[in-house]
C-alpha cells in the first residue's frame, strides 16, 4: 500500500502545484490584459499605426460566438485553430453588430448570462469569433500582433487583483520605465495619492493579501492608476457590482472619469451614472442585441432596458435623489 500511496501523494501535490500555478498565471494575465489562447499569425502587423491614423474605434461585425467544447480545445492545439469552431449551434452570441466610435463610450447592459462578459473578451481577443469579425481602427484583431493589441486595449475587471508586491511594483507592471513622479501623478489622478502618501513606506509599501490591506474601492483605484500609467487608447471595463461606501464610490467614479476621458470605452455597466453618461447603450439578451440608444431614448421605448432600469438601476437612483 505504501508503494501506492507514495506516488498518489506525489500526484496530488503536483495537482496542487498546477492549480497554484494556474491561479497565479490568471492573475498575471489579468494585469497583462490578454491570454495567449489564440494564435498570432506569422505576418501579423502592429495595430498602433492604424490607431494613429484612424483612431481606436471598435467594430463588431456580425459576430457569432460559441465557446469551444473541451474536445475541440485539444483538437485546436493539434490542428490549425482556424479550422475548428465554425459551427454556430449553441452560440453564446448571435449576429452581434455595433460599433464604438473612437473616443466614445458604449455601455453594455443585459440580464445575467446575456453574454456581456463574453463579448468583452472578444474585444481583447481572448477568443476569436466563430463567424464575423471584431475590428479596432478597422483592423481585424486576427491580423494584429498580440503585443500591439495589449498596448492598445486596457482592461479593468470587477475584482482588482494586486500582486504581493510594493505599490510601485504593482504599478510598474503597466509601465516598467515609469519614474516615481509618473507613479505619483497616476496615483493622484486615480484619487489614491493621499492614501499612498500616508502609508508607512509610501510607494515601497507592500500591498496585497499579506501586506497592507486595501479596501475594495482602494484596490480598484490602484488598478485604475495602473491603467492610467498604461494609457491605452481603448478601455474595456467591467464595473464592480459590489456596493462601495458612498465616499469610496465617489472616489472610484472620479478616478474612472479620469481614466475614460478621451478614450474609446466599452463598459459592462452596473452604475446608473455610467448608463446616463454613455454615448450609447447596447442591450443584450440571450446573446442578441435587442435594443440600442441613449438612456432617455431607451426609457421612452419601454422595452427590456426600461425593465432593467426599474429592477437594477432605479433603486440606486432613489438613493441618490434622497441623499
The set of cell numbers assigned to 49 is: 499605426
What's the CA gap between 157 and 180, in Å, rounded? Answer: 25
The 89-108 site mask, x for binding ligand ATP (CB under 6 A), equals ---x----------------
Does 118 bind ligand ATP (CB under 6 A)? Our answer is yes
Asked if 112 interacts with ligand ATP (CB under 6 A), we say yes
Phi, psi of 21 (to 5 degrees): -60, -40
- Quote the cell numbers at residue 130: 466563430
All three cell numbers of 191, joined, read 484619487
**Nearest residue to 95 (alpha-carbon basis) of 58, 69, 65, 67:** 65
Shorter beta-carbon distance to ligand ATP: residue 114 or 137: 114
Using the rule CB under 6 A, is 67 a contact of ligand ATP?
Answer: yes
Asked if 22 touches ligand ATP (CB under 6 A), the answer is no
Q: Quick one: 80 or 112, whose CB is closer to ligand ATP? A: 112
Task: Give the whole-angstrom CA distance, residue 161 versus residue 164.
Answer: 10
Q: Which stretch binds ligand ATP (CB under 6 A): 1-9, 53-61, 116-124, 252-260?
A: 116-124
CB of 164 to ligand ATP, least distance (A): 27
8 A C-beta contact, residue 184 and residue 155? no
Residue 110 or 233 with smaller CB distance to ligand ATP: 110
Q: How many residues bind ligand ATP (CB under 6 A)?
A: 10
Round to the nearest angstrom and report the end-to-end CA distance of the chain.
69
Q: Is residue 158 at the binding interface for ligand ATP, with CB under 6 A as the rule?
A: no
110 binds ligand ATP (CB under 6 A): yes
Helix (H, G, I), strand (E, B) or coil at 124: coil
Size of the chain, expressed as the number of residues it contains:
323
Interaction site with ligand ATP (CB under 6 A): 67, 92, 110, 112-118
Amino acid at each position: 500500500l505504501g508503494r501506492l500511496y507514495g506516488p498518489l501523494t506525489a500526484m496530488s501535490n503536483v495537482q496542487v502545484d498546477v492549480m497554484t500555478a494556474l491561479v497565479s498565471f490568471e492573475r498575471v494575465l489579468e494585469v497583462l490584459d490578454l491570454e495567449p489562447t489564440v494564435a498570432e499569425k506569422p505576418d501579423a502587423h502592429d495595430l498602433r499605426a492604424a490607431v494613429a491614423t484612424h483612431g481606436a474605434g471598435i467594430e463588431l461585425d456580425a459576430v457569432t460566438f460559441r465557446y469551444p467544447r473541451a474536445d475541440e480545445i485539444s483538437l485546436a492545439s493539434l490542428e490549425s485553430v482556424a479550422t475548428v469552431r465554425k459551427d454556430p449551434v449553441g452560440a453564446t452570441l448571435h449576429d452581434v453588430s455595433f460599433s464604438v466610435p473612437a473616443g466614445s463610450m458604449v455601455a453594455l447592459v443585459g440580464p445575467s448570462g446575456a453574454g456581456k462578459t463574453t463579448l468583452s473578451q472578444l474585444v481583447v481577443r481572448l477568443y476569436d469569433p466563430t463567424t464575423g469579425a471584431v475590428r479596432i481602427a478597422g483592423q481585424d484583431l486576427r491580423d494584429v500582433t498580440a503585443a500591439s493589441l495589449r498596448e492598445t486595449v486596457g482592461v479593468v475587471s470587477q475584482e482588482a487583483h494586486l500582486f504581493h508586491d510594493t505599490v510601485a511594483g504593482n504599478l510598474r507592471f503597466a509601465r516598467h520605465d515609469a519614474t516615481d513622479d509618473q507613479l505619483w501623478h497616476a496615483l493622484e489622478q486615480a484619487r489614491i495619492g493621499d492614501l499612498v502618501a500616508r502609508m508607512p513606506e509610501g510607494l515601497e509599501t507592500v500591498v496585497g493579501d499579506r501586506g497592507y490591506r486595501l479596501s475594495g474601492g482602494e484596490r480598484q483605484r490602484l488598478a485604475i492608476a495602473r491603467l492610467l500609467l498604461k494609457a491605452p487608447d481603448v478601455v474595456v471595463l467591467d464595473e464592480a457590482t459590489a456596493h462601495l461606501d458612498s465616499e469610496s464610490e465617489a472616489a472610484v467614479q472620479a478616478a474612472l472619469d479620469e481614466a475614460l476621458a478621451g478614450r474609446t470605452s466599452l463598459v459592462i455597466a452596473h452604475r446608473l451614472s455610467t448608463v446616463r453618461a454613455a454615448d450609447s447603450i447596447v442591450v443584450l439578451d440571450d446573446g442578441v442585441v435587442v435594443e440600442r440608444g441613449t438612456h432617455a431614448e431607451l426609457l421612452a421605448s419601454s422595452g427590456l432596458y426600461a425593465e432593467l432600469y426599474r429592477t437594477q438601476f432605479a433603486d440606486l437612483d432613489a438613493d441618490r435623489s434622497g441623499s
